[in-house]
Amino acid sequence: MIEKNILSIAHIQDEQNRLFFKNLFEYAPISMAIVGLNGKVVEINQVFTLTFGHKIQDFYQKKFKDFCHPKDLELNYFFDKKLLNNELDFYELESRFLHQNNKYLHTILRVSLMKGNDGKAQYFLAHIVDITERKNIEEKVKQSERLFYSINHNLREAIYRSTPNKGVVYCNQAFCDLFGFDDIEEVQQQMPEMLYSNPQDREYLQSCIRQHGFFKNEEVIFKRKDGSTFWGLISGIVSGDKYEPFMYDGAITDITKLKQVEERLRKSQLQLKSKNDELKKINKELDNFVYSTGHDLKAPLTSVLGLINVMRLDMPELKENMYLAMMEKSVHKLEQFIREILDYSKNSRLQVQRERIDFQKMVNDIFHELQFMGNAEHIHKKISIEAECDFYSDEKRLMMIFNNLLSNAVRYHNLHREKKKQ
């Protein structure tokens, strides 16, 4: 069938040339089709069916345009007319053809005319090369280029590619803006160490690259075109492979404002530490003053109490003297006030120290200190402590609490009520 069609179509006198055309058509590595001037498919080769996935009968039952993308038909008709008018020997353009899976393949379509012995056009001869894979690759490249363009123009971080000897070979616009250059060409003209406030920083980064293949989040002081400096956070990693020149890619973020905040915070912390040390010194001096003053005041008060007791012993007639009682009460009140000041001073500055509490000893010690308070000798004290387990707390603070409670109990005890019960 194929042989008959092709041989009858090919108006070639020489039998050998006719067979050559047949073999060329059938075994060509690209898709080929012979299409009538009315648009009907006359013949296709094997590669054509393999490329587009349709059965041979599908092509013979339809016109060639039925497999073309609708948006490509107008251009095809335009060039077909030019061929028929002998304005062109052939035309070649990109066109889309429908695959059996209902998806269009991208192709290069080359069309010429097959003419009879009289020189008149009888058929169109179409050569079709599938370039779908190439178009997909081109689309991916375009997407990468768009992404690259977006990174280059919109990313705020300075992106660069550098080599040990040449320095920066590529950078984005953010890099130029950060260093104060107009464009990448101006950056490439700079000696690489001139971008660093301290050239030894670049040597250190390159040593990291050589030893580890990367460096990350290194804080470096960089120098702009105008000589001003800024703090940058820089990272870099080796790029390429052993077949490419050694280079590394990286990014720089301006952290000058962050470093300024850190510096202000550091100074504030130093000032706070200085103020804290000064306050500790003042508090210590105040503690010493309160302690010394308290003891200096308590000594004469104790002497006054002792003299009052001596007067009562030497002069029994003064034992119930109202004025002596008032003096004694006032001295005890002042003594208690001084004790409270000392307790408050200790309590506000001492650190909490946990230890086992002996309540029996604590209460006995407090009552011993309170024995000279007014009416203390007339109060019957009964101490009963039930401790089912050990109790841990700060002994000094707990002593202050119990001292306040018991001193108030002694000071405000109602002796008349107790006498009535008896």
Which domain, by its residues, includes 29? 2-137
Q: Is 105 helix (H, G, I), strand (E, B) or coil?
A: strand
Residue 259 lies in a domain: no
> Ranked by mean pLDDT, which of 90-104, 152-166, 318-332, 347-361 comes out on top?
90-104
For the chain, the straight-line distance linking the first and the last C-alpha, in angstroms and rounded, comes to 143
CB atoms within 10 A of CB 210: 11
Residue 147 lies in a domain: no
- Show Cβ contacts of residue 334 under 8 Å, excluding neighbours closer than 6 positions: 297, 301
Of the listed ranges 14-18, 123-127, 232-236, 263-267, the one predicted with least confidence: 14-18
Rounded to 5°, the CA angle 287-290-292 comes to 105
Percent of the chain with pLDDT over 90: 30
Do residues 45 and 26 make contact, with C-beta atoms less than 8 angstroms apart?
A: yes
For residue 2, the model assigns a pLDDT of 41
Q: Where among 254, 278, 305 does a domain terminate?
A: 254
Q: Residue 187 — very low, low, confident or very high, per pLDDT cuts 50/70/90?
A: very high
For residue 366, the model assigns a pLDDT of 80
CB atoms within 10 A of CB 373: 21
Rounded to 5°, the CA angle 101-39-22 comes to 85
pLDDT at 189 > cutoff 80 = yes
Residue given tokens 């039925």 in the structure block: 66
- Distance CA(252)–CA(187), nearest Å, equals 15
The reported pTM is 0.47
For residue 14, the model assigns a pLDDT of 56
Do 83 and 205 fall within a single domain? no
Q: Is 63 helix (H, G, I), strand (E, B) or coil?
A: strand
Q: Is 34 helix (H, G, I), strand (E, B) or coil?
A: strand
CATH number of the domain to which 15 belongs: 3.30.450.20
| Average pLDDT along the chain | 82
Residue 151 lies in a domain: no
Do 250 and 112 fall within a single domain? no
Rg, Å, the chain Cα set: 53
Residue 320 has what DSSP assignment? T
239-283 pLDDT tens trace: 865 545 678 899 999 999 999 999 999 999 999 999 998 888 887
Do 124 and 171 fall within a single domain? no
Do 164 and 18 fall within a single domain? no
- Distance CA(187)–CA(194), nearest Å, equals 11
Do 96 and 8 fall within a single domain? yes
Do residues 234 and 209 make contact, with C-beta atoms less than 8 angstroms apart?
A: no
- Distance CA(357)–CA(347), nearest Å, equals 17
Phi, psi of 122 (to 5 degrees): -120, -35
The sheet with strand 229-239 has its strands ordered as 167-171, 158-163, 247-254, 229-239, 214-223
124-167 pLDDT tens trace: 999 999 999 999 999 999 888 888 777 777 778 899 998 887 88
Q: Please count the structural domains in the chain.
A: 3
Residue 68 has what DSSP assignment? B
